[in-house]
Amino acid sequence: MRIALVGAVEGSLVAFDALVAAGMAPSLLVTLAVDHSARHSDFVDLTRPARAAGAAVHLTKNINAADTIASIKAERPDLTVVIGWSQICGSEFRAIARLGTIGYHPAPLPRFRGRAVIPWTILANEKETGSTFFWLDEGVDSGPIVSQRLFPVAPDETARSLYEKHKQALFEMTPLVVLAVAGGGNAGTRQDESAASYCSKRRPNDGIIDWNQAAEDVLRFVRAVGDPYPGAFTFDAGDKIVIDKARPFARQGRYIGLTGQVQTHTDFGFTVLCGDGSTIEVTSWRGKRPKIHNRLASTFPAAP
C-alpha cells in the first residue's frame, strides 16, 4: 500500500519509524522545511530518515497549497496519514488518497480537540488521557474515530513524560491502524458532539508564572509548559528566568513574606513564596539565581 505521511514533529518521526519497522515505509513524506521550524517547538527534520527509507519528500508550509496538492496527487497514495501538522486540511487534500485521510490527536476525542493538548491536559488536572486516530473531515479533530488508546495521567506528570507516553502509543498503534484501514473494515465510530471540548492555542508568552496562585497550581504549571514546549518563566528585576523544575518546599505559614518573594537559597536552588502562603523550591532554571528577598514578577517588565 502506498502511504503519504504528513508531519514535522517528534511524533511524526515516531510514526514514520514505526511504519518502516513494520515494512510499510511511506512512499511520500510531506513536511516543513527547516527554515520554518519555529512553527513547532517540538520540530524534527524528517527529510534525512525519509530519503534513507526511499520516500519522496515534499517541503511545504501550507498543506492546502496547489503545489503540495499536485505533489501528493503525483504519488497516487492509497492512504494519507497526518501526524503533527497544525493546519486544517481542506477537502481537496483529504480526497486525494484512494482510501481517505486519517489523522492523529494526543487526546481522548471528542474531548480536548484543538491545540496545545498536552499542556492543557496537565493544567486541567486530568486523571486520564488518550491517543486517538480518526478520519479527517471538515471540522477540528471531529471525524469518526478509527482507534483510541486510553492511559492514566500521573500526579507528577510533566509535558515531556506525557509526550513520551503518546509517542509510545503512536509507535504501537500506527502500523495496526494502517493495516485495519487497508483491510477496508474500519469506517470509524462517530464522535459524540455533546461530549466535545476544545483547547485554545498557547503561545510562548502564556508561560509567565502567576505567583498569586497556590503552590500546587504553580508546580502543575511548571510541569505542564516545560520541555518540549517553551517553558514557565518569571522576571527578576527585568531579567527573565525560565523555571524547568520545582518541588514543594515548606508548608503554609512557614515563611512570612510577599507573594513571589525569594525566601531562601538552598543547596539545589532557591525558594519562592506562593499565593497560598506555601513555598516551592526551584531546582532547575535558566538565568541568574535571584537574590534572597527579591520579588519575582508575574507581569512583563515595562519597556525601557
- Sheet with 239-250: strands ordered across: 232-236, 239-250, 279-286, 270-273, 262-265
In a domain, 292, yes or no: no
Confidence at residue 86, expressed as pLDDT on a 0 to 100 scale: 86
Q: What percent of the chain shows pLDDT beyond 90?
A: 93
State yes or no: pLDDT of 298 exceeds 80. Answer: yes
Q: Which residue range(s) make up the domain with 191?
A: 3-199
* 226 & 182 share domain: no
Confidence of residue 290 (pLDDT cuts 50, 70, 90): very high
* 142 & 171 share domain: yes
Residue 238 falls in which region: left (phi positive, over 0), alpha (psi -120 to 50) or beta: left
Report d(CA 246, CA 198) in Å as an integer: 29
Positive or negative torsion for Cα 123, 205, 64, 61:
negative
State yes or no: pLDDT of 185 exceeds 80. Answer: no
Residue with C-alpha cell 510531506? 30
* 167 & 69 share domain: yes
Structural domain count of the chain: 2
Confidence at residue 28, expressed as pLDDT on a 0 to 100 scale: 98
Domain CATH number, residue 36: 3.40.50.170
What would the pLDDT profile of 187-212 be if each residue is shown by its tens digit?
A: 899 999 999 999 999 999 999 999 99
Report d(CA 242, CA 230) in Å as an integer: 9
Q: Are the C-beta atoms of 34 and 28 separated by less than 8 Å?
A: no
Report d(CA 3, CA 24) in Å as an integer: 8
* 139 & 243 share domain: no
Determine the 3-state secondary structure of 303 from DSSP: coil
* 39 & 112 share domain: yes
What would the pLDDT profile of 89-122 be if each residue is shown by its tens digit?
A: 999 999 999 999 999 999 999 999 999 999 999 9
Confidence at residue 187, expressed as pLDDT on a 0 to 100 scale: 81
* 159 & 216 share domain: no
* 214 & 191 share domain: no
Report d(CA 224, CA 166) in Å as an integer: 15
pTM over 0.85: yes
Q: What is the mean pLDDT of residues 270-281?
A: 98
9: cell is 514533529
Q: Does a cis peptide bond (omega within 30 degrees of 0) precede residue 155?
A: no
Chosen domain end from 158, 180, 199 = 199
Q: Are the C-beta atoms of 242 and 285 separated by less than 8 Å?
A: yes
- Which residue intervals of the chain are DSSP H helices? 10-21, 47-52, 66-75, 91-94, 117-123, 159-182, 215-225
Report d(CA 116, CA 104) in Å as an integer: 14
Confidence at residue 38, expressed as pLDDT on a 0 to 100 scale: 81
* 213 & 164 share domain: no
Q: What is the mean pLDDT of residues 247-262?
A: 96
* 189 & 273 share domain: no
77: cell is 497514495
In a domain, 98, yes or no: yes
DSSP code, position 85: -
Burial of 87 (0-12, 13-18, 19+ CB in 10 A): middle
Confidence at residue 54, expressed as pLDDT on a 0 to 100 scale: 96
Q: Across-strand partners of 58?
A: 30
* 16 & 77 share domain: yes
In a domain, 303, yes or no: no
Domain CATH number, residue 261: 3.10.25.10
